[in-house]
Structure 1
Amino acid sequence: MSLASRLLTGLTLRLARRFIVTRELSTHLEKPVRLLLPLLGLQSVWLSAPDDLALIPIARRLTGILILVCVTWLIMRILRALEQTILLSNPVDVADNLRARRIQTQTKVLFRTINFFVLLIGLAAMLMTFPAARQFGASLLASAGLAGLAAGFAARPVLANLIAGIQIAVTQPIRLDDVVIVENEWGRIEEITGSYVIVRIWDDRRLVVPLQYFIEKPFQNWTRRNSSLIGTVFVWVDYALPLEPLREELRRLCKDVPELWDGRVCVLQVTDTSEKSMQLRALVSSADSSRNWDLRCHVRENLIGFIQRQYPHALPQLRADLSVGQKPQVDMRTPEHTEPERQPPV
């Protein structure tokens, strides 16, 4: 049997080199098949042996359990091979990877959920080979009221995350490599497991978030439909600054960095005023959030430098009336019995 399994595996590998599906299946199934075939042959020997042979029931049960383990392992490896095939067919290392990220997210979450159920069914099948386990299961079914309530309450976090994983796979509020803001932290979705999500923060920290969080609480997803983004730059200036030269400078700054600016939005507006200065807001767009951050820093630094060079008097200034607070001139000819001097209002 071992020789037959090796020959079968070698032949399959040779025929499957040109196809992704067969290559992945043959690679992932090599070890479980090599173990399963000898176990099946051994079990056929035990079943054909006389029932009164010494230790034959134990040998049959032990071999049957090992066969169930191998079958469970084989099914999980098949699922893993199919998952790898889908992932390899939809790479994310391309310019427009929105569709690939959506497919990869659905694939990983759904296959992990299926793996969980396969493992659960396999363990249940192994337990059912023991008569005591069957009796235990019957007693549980007989007292399903209290036992079911206790089991459901104990397994509530696991089941909630499992259901949340299915919801995320279907509705996809997040996908792999999405840019999100969670708990006031900016980062990218690095990994989605069966119970939690790993968010890689901009400074290389990892934020571990339960799956339920993305179903029950609000968060920001900057790449839900596409990765393009509009950023803002605020500058406070004096009222003496002319706006048209600054608008021309903003357009020039954006055109100078085509690798950062995507050509969609480049606007300068007065958005607020106070008794001392006015607030200018520059809107600039980029293909993704990382480029937009660099573009905003570039625009902010150069606008400030332009104002300093061309209109230094237009930087925010504090104005004051120096005559306020000074004592008025006293006419020495005023009679002494006049009213006393009064201070000006503060």
Structure 2
Amino acid sequence: MDLDYFSDMHEGPWRAAAVVGVSALIFVAVALLLHRAGIMLLRRIARNRPYTTNAIKYGYRASQLCMVLFALRLVLTGAPENMPLLLPISRINSVLLILSLSWLAIACVNSIKSTITTLNPVDAADNLRARRLLTQTAVLTRSANFIIGLLGLGFVLLTLPGARQFGASLLASAGVAGLVAGIAARPVLGNFIAGLQIAFSQPIRLDDVLIVKGEWGRVERITGTYVVVRIWDERRLIVPLQWFIENPFENWTHTSSSILGTVFLWLDFSVPVPAIRAEFERITHASSRWDKRVCVLHVTDADDRGMQLRLLISAQDSGTAFDLRCEIREAIIAFVAANYPDSLPRLRPVLDAPGPQEDSLGKRPTHVADSPAP
């Protein structure tokens, strides 16, 4: 429908505005019908396809608004120039259309994140691949949303003459202001780049077990600027993203969630090591926390008071390994106390200590005279 004929009519501007308004209602109604028909067709085509289904679900409202604003854009393009308030209405429509397109792009990006999260649950036994994908998705989604929002804001400012002049003045007066802005933005840009590095190289992932600044915890959340580490006692450690790029830290689940645990015991030399080893293997094989990989006992050290036994066991994750270590330590100590109490660590005092006038061999010094008999 062409509205150029409005300019040839000898009608008043307000009457032309009324005709444009009626035409806008018709165009909006047609746009809504087309949107509904398109959504129904896409749902039929995208059946049993999770990515497309989620994209339709997340982008429904945004795409509907885009269709309405695009229809109004067509009407305003063909409206007569003498129509009242044509210029401000056209600018408002352009701004809203840019914002709705940005909203639609962000909704599509979020739909991809939601689909990946649904298809890769982290509550599985072996969730290494799922945590890797979710970490990449979380960081890249935030980065994409930030870029989309930045581009949308830039296009909005370009449609406003005042904003274009303001941008030109900022470029003309860059100098010191640009230097100050660059220095001020350095931490933000550093964290942004660190987030991209973490997304691709993945030194950490969601639900990874870390030792950060001497604290044991799990990665609970990765944002665009910091990482939330949930400490074992329910505290939260907030660490900037850039810190993980510039500092060393321990990651207990970088390649696998399985881990080895150790129990160290100091016992007397008289303890029968084969009996302790047999009891250790019996306890370990009977425990549901053991993953049936490693179960080894070695005498790893000795000093003048006793010997050190290292009981090495394996488990499917660090939390289970800690519980298994406690279980084995408690059982072995109880076994030794019940069956070999004399083999527990103890001090050996010298019972036959020499007297004040005897040397270490029990002989009296030759220079000490015998006291006369009474």
TM-score normalised according to structure 2 size: 0.84
Q: CA separation of 1:328/1:66 partners in 2, compared to 1, >3 Å: closer, same or farther? A: same
Which of 198, 206, 209 pairs up with 2:228?
198
Aligned residue number for residue 63 of structure 1 = 93
**Is 1:30 matched with 2:34?**
no
| Aligned-partner SS, 1:281 | strand
CA distance in 2, matches of 1:333, 1:22: 109
Instruction: State the 1:87 CA deviation.
Output: 2.7
Tell me which residue corresponds to 2:319.
Answer: 290
Deviates more, 1:305-314 or 1:207-216: 207-216
Hey, what does 1:85 align to over in structure 2? 115
- Distance in 2 (alpha carbons) for counterparts of 1:110 and 1:58: 37
2:280 corresponds to 1:250: yes
SS of structure 2 residue aligned to 1:96: coil
Aligned match of 2:5? none
Structure 1 residues 317, 70: closer, same or farther in 2, change over 3 A? same
Distance 1:81 1:282 in 2: 49
Listed one character per residue, the Cα deviations across residues 28-79 of structure 1 (whole Å, up to 9, x for unaligned) are 1111112111111112222211222221110000111111110110111111
Q: Deviations over 1:171-193 (max 9, x none)?
A: 00011111111122212112111
2:184 to 124, 130, 154: 154
Q: Name the SS for the 1:212 alignment partner.
A: helix
Q: Is 1:165 equivalent to 2:202 in the alignment? A: no
Residue in 1 aligned with 2:291?
262
Could you tell me how far apart the structure 2 residues matched to 1:74 and 1:132 are? 27
Which amino acid counterpart does residue 185 of structure 1 have in structure 2?
Answer: E
Q: What runs of 5+ residues in structure 1 fail to find an aligned partner?
A: 337-346
- Give 1:1-346 correspondences, 5 Å limit: 1-257=31-287, 259-324=288-353, 326-328=355-357, 333-334=370-371
CA shift, 1:335, in A, is: 5.5
**Matched-pair contact (CA < 8 Å) for 1:13–1:27:** no
**Structure 1: distance between partners of 2:274 and 2:352:** 35
Give distance in 1, aligned partners of 2:159 and 2:184. Answer: 26
User: Corresponding residue for 2:18?
Assistant: none
Structure 2 alignment gaps of length 5 or more = 1-30, 359-363
Name the SS for the 1:86 alignment partner.
helix
C-alpha separation in 1, matches of 2:165 and 2:261: 66
Distance 2:219 2:101 in 1: 34
Deviation at residue 83 of structure 1 after TM alignment: 2.1
Shift of 1:276: 1.9
Q: 2-side partners of 1:148 and 1:117: how far apart?
A: 21
Deviates more, 1:28-37 or 1:145-154: 145-154
Bigger drift between 198-207 and 320-329 goes to 320-329
Task: State the aligned residue count.
Answer: 335
The separation in 2 between residues aligned to 1:93 and 1:15, in whole angstroms, is: 31
| CA–CA separation in structure 2 for the residues paired with 1:332 and 1:172 | 84
The amino acid across from 1:334 in the alignment is: S
User: Are the aligned partners of 1:236 and 1:279 in contact in 2 as well (CA < 8 Å)?
Assistant: yes
Q: CA deviation at 1:148?
A: 2.4
2:307 is matched by which residue type in structure 1?
M
Once the two structures are TM-superposed, the CA of residue 326 in structure 1 deviates from its matched residue by: 4.2
User: Which of structures 1 and 2 has the bigger CA Rg?
Assistant: 2
Shift of 1:220: 0.8
Q: Corresponding residue for 1:341?
A: none
The 10-residue stretch of structure 1 (89-98 or 194-203) with the greater mean CA deviation from structure 2: 89-98
Q: Which residue of 2 aligns with 1:340?
A: none
Q: What's the counterpart of residue 339 of structure 1? A: none
Residue identity in the other structure for 2:353: V
Paired residue secondary structure (1:95): coil
Q: How far does residue 13 in structure 1 lie from its aligned partner after superposition? A: 3.5
Structure 1 pair 139–333 and aligned structure 2 pair: CA distance change class (3 A): closer
Alpha carbons 2:284, 2:290 under 8 Å: kept: yes
Q: Distance in 2 between matches of 1:111 and 1:270?
A: 52
Separation in structure 2 between the aligned mates of residue 56 and residue 333 of structure 1, nearest angstrom: 130
Query: Which residue type is aligned with residue 160 of structure 2?
Result: F
Note if contact 2:126-2:257 (Cα within 8 Å) is conserved in structure 1. no
Superposed CA deviations along residues 64-100 of structure 1, whole A, max 9, x for unmatched, are 1111110110111111112222333333332222122
Cα distance per residue 1:1-20 (max 9 Å; x no partner): 33433343344335434221
